[in-house]
Amino acid sequence: MNTPIMQELQLHEHLRERLTETYSDIDEETLCDTLEGMTSLHEKLATVIRSQQHDTDISKALKERIAEMRDRLKRFENRIEKKRELVTYVMECADIRKLNEPDFSASLRIVPPSLQVIDEDVVPDNFWNPQPPKLDRQALLVHLKANQSIPGVSLNNGAQTVSIRTK
């Protein structure tokens, strides 16, 4: 990866190496302060973090907007169904079998019977499709954290991440 921040990291590491070679007795605080002044790594990190925060804000806003749009879609779908039911009812009551207009035609038709499950518990086994087993990851995690050994699984060592708090 040859991004500006990675180039700055390479410069930072090179300068750290040179400074510790040249000044073997340099303390960590002085070394860090010197490197901060000689490179723009802190500024580049801040830029990436701000960009990440911006992406998080955009992502959150998009999720909210998508949820709003899904709700709106459901309302439209409900309106479509209610209008279809209304037209069907009125055409049945008025004994109108077919309606021809310049831009559409509508006709009543018989809907074939559909399946209605009344009690799943009494449906014979040969009408059930077997489902593949699924790991209960939460239960596995609880047992592993309680120091119980389970063949085929283990806890990894975790990883390091950055915690960012905004003001």
Could you tell me the pTM of the whole model? 0.61
Does residue 89 lie within any of the structural domains? yes
In a domain, 16, yes or no: no
Find the domain containing 90 and state its range. Answer: 58-109
Residue 15 pLDDT class (50, 70, 90 cuts):
very high
Q: Is residue 31 part of a domain?
A: no
Whether 11 is covered by a domain: the verdict is no
Mean pLDDT of the chain: 93
Tell the burial category of 5 from Cβ atoms under 10 Å away from its Cβ (0-12, 13-18, 19+): middle
Beta bridge partners of 98: 107
Counting the structural domains of the chain, the total is: 1
Separation of alpha carbons 72 and 55, rounded Å: 25
| Domain membership flag for residue 82 | yes
